[in-house]
Structure 1
Amino acid sequence: MKKIISSGFIASIVLLVFAYLCLLVMPILLPKVAEEYYNPAFVNDESRNLLYYVHPVVLAFGLAWFWNRFKSLLKGNALMQGIEMALIYVVIATIPSLLITYSAINVSLLTTGTWLLYGFFQALIAGIIFSRMHV
């Protein structure tokens, strides 16, 4: 349990930094995608902005629990284990969520693709952290 909490805490911090960096870099790298967030389909309620920063914390602890349960099935070095965990996360959680979101909200396939990549890299980062901490 101690490893889940400590690795979840470290992954939370790193994923929070990653989320913040993505907020800063996305409008520069993908201005068309950034413009989509001004669409009325997106909630423009500042009281919910905190949830963007809560998400990486919840995800980190969920993935830490998952890692603790299934780490023996992930083979290879830290990078390979991280990639495998990211692929599992993308297939089990990200793609199904994005399919329902894409079907219900007026967003482009490009925006949906960026969310897919974002989820993959979140799980990859967490997987590498867990691999190094759960030796």
Structure 2
Amino acid sequence: MKRVLSSGLIAGCILFIVSYGGLFLGIRFFPQLFIEYNNPLFNSDGSRDLLFYLHAFVISIALSWFWQRVKGLFHGSFIFRGLEFGAVYALVALLPVMWITFSSLDVTIVTILCWFFYGMVQAVIAGLVFAFSNP
């Protein structure tokens, strides 16, 4: 359990930095993608902002636990194992979630594809951290 928590926290710190750096760069260089967030669907009263900021740690610890359970299925270098882990997570978890999100909420396919890509990048980064720190 110690390895799950420690590698999860390391991945969480890295994802936190990458996520907010990516958000800053995304708004700066692709502002048209973020216009959709002016929709009332995305407006918050601020009471749950902490949950938003903790997202990187929640997903990292969950993925770390998942890695601990399935790491024996991935073979090769840590880079290949991390990439494969991210791809598996994207297909098994993200694709169905993005499908139901697109079918039930008023969001564009571009937004769904961005969210899918973002989630897959997070999983690959976390997978690389896990494959390196918890082989």
- With normalisation by structure 2, the TM-score equals 0.94
Moved over 6 A (4+): none
What are the residue-to-residue correspondences of 1:28-43 with 2, within 5 Å? 28-43=28-43
Q: Gaps spanning 5+ residues in structure 2: where?
A: none
Q: Gaps spanning 5+ residues in structure 1: where?
A: none
What are the residue-to-residue correspondences of 1:43-82 with 2, within 5 Å? 43-82=43-82
Match of 2:21 in 1: 21
- With normalisation by structure 1, the TM-score equals 0.94
* CA deviation string 1:101-122 (max 9, x = no partner): 1112111111111101110010
* CA deviation string 1:78-124 (max 9, x = no partner): 11111111111111111111111111211111111110111001000
TM-superposed CA distance for 1:48, in Å, is 2.1
Match of 1:8 in 2: 8
Give the % identical residues: 38
Indicate conservation of the 8 Å contact 1:67/1:130, yes or no.
Answer: yes
SS of 1:5's equivalent in the other structure is: helix
TM-superposed CA distance for 1:44, in Å, is 2.7
